Amino acid sequence: MHVVRILVQGIGQHAVAGEADECVRFRESIQEVSDALVDDITPADLLVHAGSVLSALENHNRRTTSRLRLQQVELQNMLKMLTSTVGIVSAVSEANVNRLSEIELQVASASALDDVRMIKSRLSDCLADIRREAENQRKETGATIEQLSQGLDEARKRSIGIIESPQQDAVTGLPLRPEAEIALVQSGKGGAQSYVAVLALDRLQTVNLRFGREAGDEVLVEFSRMIRKQLPPEDRLFRWSGAALLALLPRPGSIERVRSEIGRIMETKLEHTIQTPSRSILLPIGARWTVFPTMAAPRLMYQKIDAFAAAPIPRD
């Protein structure tokens, strides 16, 4: 009976720890059985108490295992959210974003300790690459700011008559791409949230070829006036290149809200009348548009803007 009591007490003391209250109740029930194991106990009572110990141990292990499994799932979900968020908020390359996505999928199915260790190693390597890439982007941003500032200063010095104001587009009167690039760099470097709207006129080149450059310029001017009129005064509008305008939008809200705002502006029906020697032609003015969040890596931002502006016009 002494040996049996030692075994029963050991079960109570060394069972896997779970919730504190649950552990207390389990050990109390085991202690009650241990106290009941007197030397003159009958075999039938001994068998009943042994069954009680096994039942209590089974219930305790089931509840504890369930709790640990829930903790594991929550930790996996937390890691998935972290990897997903790092990929969203970081201005990292597409390769590293894909690596994070793969790790996120592996986390969902990881169960064995070796799997977790492998995922930890892969995540550590990926985060190290992201830190190096972020550092390179910060250095690149600083160099870009310096180059743009120097180039703008030199241009202003060469143009004595416009030293006090930025260069403007001869057609729309809007600031040109160099001013837009500096504004984007400064916005990405600052702490306030801001977005970029790219607005590209459809078929402007067709209008130029069919009716002449002057007609195309009139369409572009009409379009830029409409956009400027619809935007708040604190927003800045630039002529990026060709038929593309760029609006820098300081906004605290989400990108979905900004896209909704720009979408309402672009729903405005705009037409322009072109006079020819024989008749008047009413042209509808259509445009493609998109919205990007500003980022710390300016060259990546420029590439996105140029890629959208140069994209082929979808066929009706």
Residues 189 and 242 occupy one common structural domain: yes
Instruction: Give me 62's structure tokens.
Output: 């089931």
Instruction: Give the chain's domain count.
Output: 2
| pLDDT tens figures, 148-183 | 677 666 655 555 444 445 578 889 999 999 999 999
Q: In the listed set 128, 149, 179, which residue is the last one of a domain according to the structure?
A: 128
Contact 258, 222 (CB under 8 A): no
Indicate whether 214 and 280 sit together in one domain.
yes
Query: Same domain for 186 and 290?
Result: yes
Could you tell me if 172 and 302 lie in one domain? yes
User: Residue 244 is part of which domain span?
Assistant: 166-310
Each residue of 237-292: pLDDT tens digit? 999 988 999 999 999 889 999 999 999 999 988 888 887 778 888 888 889 999 99
CA–CA separation, 307 and 293 (whole Å):
15
Together in a domain, 120 and 175: no
Phi-psi category of 220—alpha, beta or left, where left has phi over 0 and alpha has psi -120 to 50?
alpha
CATH number, domain of 191, equals: 3.30.70.270
Confidence of residue 21 (pLDDT cuts 50, 70, 90): confident
- The residues facing 290 across adjacent strands are 198
Residue 177, in any domain of the structure: yes
- CA dist., res. 124 & res. 103, Å (int): 11
Q: Which of 45-49, 64-68, 141-145, 241-245 has the lowest mean pLDDT?
A: 141-145
Judged on CB neighbours under 10 Å (0-12, 13-18, 19+), 128 is exposed
Per-residue DSSP letters for 161-186?
GGTTS--B-TTT--B-HHHHHHHHHH
Q: Establish if 294 belongs to a structural domain.
A: yes
Residues 178 and 301 in one domain: yes
202 neighbors 308 (Cβ within 8 angstroms): no
